[in-house]
């Protein structure tokens, strides 16, 4: 529960009583009690504010798969990072992490007793991306111990702030404190892509939404509340400066510990620490819907020398009928030049984009860059476009850019152009097959392949879909043969190949991998991969109920 688990006091008929210590002051929604025959691992975190016992609980049938060393490592790294940066010690006496069977959420930040869905205990081989996502969730819930548990929102109107802060803090801590130091790349390709998608649907809403009742709360656990809100917070950190942000945050924690607050309480401290007026920023960022679009406007002379460069901002276009808002953006413009085999960022221009058009004078009189990337480093939330020259460069050279985040921004921009019907599915498929051959970030590989499948299934002309899937599977088959045996890349490619295999030869290969007839060096065909292979064979009519029942005999778990 929320305090240390006491020794039980036996009573008659094999019953016992557990008497827990009184908790510190806490909101009732943060109460939890977990019971069951859990397997347990323990450790301790020793920091500058004190020592805290740590524990992990998991059902016995998953205990053999529990990689408690890594979970404790990430947890301790998070403790140190947050205590160092917040300058406020962990506010509770212990920290338990309970992996709960059939848990109906990703995780929940109960005081000192965080609960997770136990799919985070991996029983089959998975990619680094899955471990990174789990580490992010661990850090997300730990951040809530300060922002959410020590200081709690007054009402659900600030649910977005509670979740957005933990979302931002988790990626910030992961980047600065763990082995997953490119966490902002995963944020962009997974979480932010989720936000952009939901922000262009008819169901979009402002980040700060009115919550008259609990039904409204449940409706707003979405990509806008979490990922768009975290993106806005990241922009706020850039707007006021990280040092000023942390100064204001420390004052906020000290002033409001064990109390309830509203957004205005945080903004007040940040305004004092930074000297920036934030009420107007809050209104335009948090009370309006949709994503604005930023595109470069570049003019060159006969010698290909830049004579004019501007960033044009367009109001949200989807869904129709949104307020024509233009937001202020603190962002970086990346300037890239081809140097040997690499596309290198030679200049970073940080600028405040305000209003419809912002003139950039720094490149006047120089040769046109090979690529211009608006919002390099991903500091703001906006749809971006590449000029035609930059798009042509990116199509050929994207894999040679060193920063995975910059590559992710380009991939994201092109994907958005597909969604907006500015780039066709066929051209996108060509870019994907060319680009992922040398892409080294496994999270990017997985996300781009997933988006490519969506482009074929959703946006392509129906008469072209079969041929596009054949082309994708053919390209993946070649890349599988080039992949390092036993690598995450190999596993991701095989999974996607099995999902899109279309021709008789491709389907036969899926069948032979499943049956062990065709061996791929380094590939372990374990439980989860077997289900993925079998699923495709069932979809195309090559296997049926009999084979499903046979597979269930080998995997009678709730995940089977």
Known catalytic residues?
Answer: 141
Q: Which of 100, 104, 127 is nearest to 116 (CA)?
A: 100
- What's the rounded Cα separation, in Å, for the pair 180 and 528? 24
Q: Which of 480, 443, 497, 1 is nearest to 191 (CA)?
A: 443
User: What is 166-188 written as a DSSP string?
Assistant: HHHHHHHHHHHHSS-TTHHHHII
- What's the rounded Cα separation, in Å, for the pair 392 and 386? 9
**What are the structure tokens assigned to 247, written together?**
């100064």
How many Cβ atoms are within 10 Å of 131's Cβ, its own excluded? 19
How many Cβ atoms are within 10 Å of 209's Cβ, its own excluded? 19
Residue 380 CB contacts under 8 Å (≥ 6 apart), including other chains:
231, 234, 235, 238, 329, 330, 331
> What residues form DSSP beta bridges with 259?
151
Residue 93 CB contacts under 8 Å (≥ 6 apart), including other chains:
3, 4, 52, 112
Q: Which of 340, 406, 404 is nearest to 371 (CA)?
A: 406
> What residues form DSSP beta bridges with 338?
343
- What's the rounded Cα separation, in Å, for the pair 41 and 12? 30
- What's the rounded Cα separation, in Å, for the pair 78 and 84? 10
Burial track 23-62 (b if 16+ CB lie within 10 A, e otherwise): eeebeeebebeeeeebbebebebeeeeeebebbbbbbeeb
């Amino acid at each position: 529960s929320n305090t240390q688990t006491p020794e039980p006091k036996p009573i008659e008929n094999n019953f016992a009583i557990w008497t827990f210590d009184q908790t510190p002051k806490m909101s009732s929604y943060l109460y939890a009690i977990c019971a069951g025959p859990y397997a347990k691992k323990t450790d301790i975190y020793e920091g500058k504010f004190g020592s805290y016992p740590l524990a992990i609980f998991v059902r016995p049938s998953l205990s053999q798969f529990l990689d408690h060393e890594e979970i404790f490592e990430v947890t301790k790294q998070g403790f140190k990072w947050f205590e160092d940066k917040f300058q406020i010690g962990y506010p509770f006496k212990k920290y338990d992490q309970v992996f709960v069977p059939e848990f109906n959420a990703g995780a929940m930040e109960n005081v000192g007793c965080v609960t997770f869905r136990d799919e985070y205990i991996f029983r089959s081989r998975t990619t680094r991306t899955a471990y990174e996502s789990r580490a992010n969730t661990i850090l997300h819930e730990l951040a809530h111990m300060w922002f959410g548990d020590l200081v709690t929102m007054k009402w659900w109107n600030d649910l977005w702030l509670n979740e957005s802060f933990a979302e931002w803090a988790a990626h910030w801590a992961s980047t600065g404190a763990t082995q997953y130091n490119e966490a902002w790349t995963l944020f962009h390709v997974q979480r932010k892509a989720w936000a952009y998608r939901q922000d262009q649907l008819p169901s979009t809403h402002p980040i700060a939404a009115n919550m008259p009742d609990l039904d409204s709360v449940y409706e707003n656990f979405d990509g806008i509340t979490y990922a768009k809100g975290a993106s806005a917070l990241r922009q706020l950190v850039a707007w006021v400066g990280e040092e000023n942000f942390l100064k204001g945050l420390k004052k906020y924690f000290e002033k409001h510990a064990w109390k309830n607050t509203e957004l205005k309480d945080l903004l007040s401290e940040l305004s004092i620490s930074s000297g920036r007026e934030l009420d107007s920023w809050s209104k335009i960022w948090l009370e309006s819907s949709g994503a604005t679009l930023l595109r470069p406007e570049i003019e060159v002379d006969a010698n290909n020398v830049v004579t004019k460069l501007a960033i044009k901002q367009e109001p949200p276009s989807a869904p129709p009928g949104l307020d024509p808002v233009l937001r202020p953006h603190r962002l970086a413009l990346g300037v890239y030049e081809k140097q040997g085999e690499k596309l290198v960022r030679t200049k970073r221009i940080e600028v405040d984009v305000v209003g419809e058009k912002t003139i950039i004078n720094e490149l006047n009189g120089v040769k046109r860059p090979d690529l211009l990337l608006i919002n390099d480093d991903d500091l703001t939330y906006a749809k971006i476009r590449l000029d035609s020259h930059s798009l042509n460069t990116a199509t050929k050279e994207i894999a040679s850019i060193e920063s995975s985040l910059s590559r992710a921004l380009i991939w994201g921009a092109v994907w958005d152009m597909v969604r907006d019907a500015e780039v066709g599915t066929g051209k996108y498929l060509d870019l994907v097959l060319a680009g992922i051959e040398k892409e080294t970030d496994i999270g990017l590989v997985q996300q781009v392949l997933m988006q490519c499948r969506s482009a074929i299934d959703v946006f392509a002309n129906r008469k072209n879909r079969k041929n596009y899937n054949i082309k994708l599977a053919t390209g993946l088959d070649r890349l599988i043969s080039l992949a390092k045996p036993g690598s995450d890349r190999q596993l991701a490619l095989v999974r996607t190949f099995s999902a899109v295999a279309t021709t008789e030869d491709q389907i036969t290969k899926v069948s032979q991998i499943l049956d062990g007839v065709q061996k791929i060096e380094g590939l372990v065909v374990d439980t989860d991969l077997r289900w993925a292979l079998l699923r495709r064979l069932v979809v195309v009519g090559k296997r049926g109920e009999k084979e499903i029942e046979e597979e269930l005999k080998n995997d009678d778990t709730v995940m089977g």
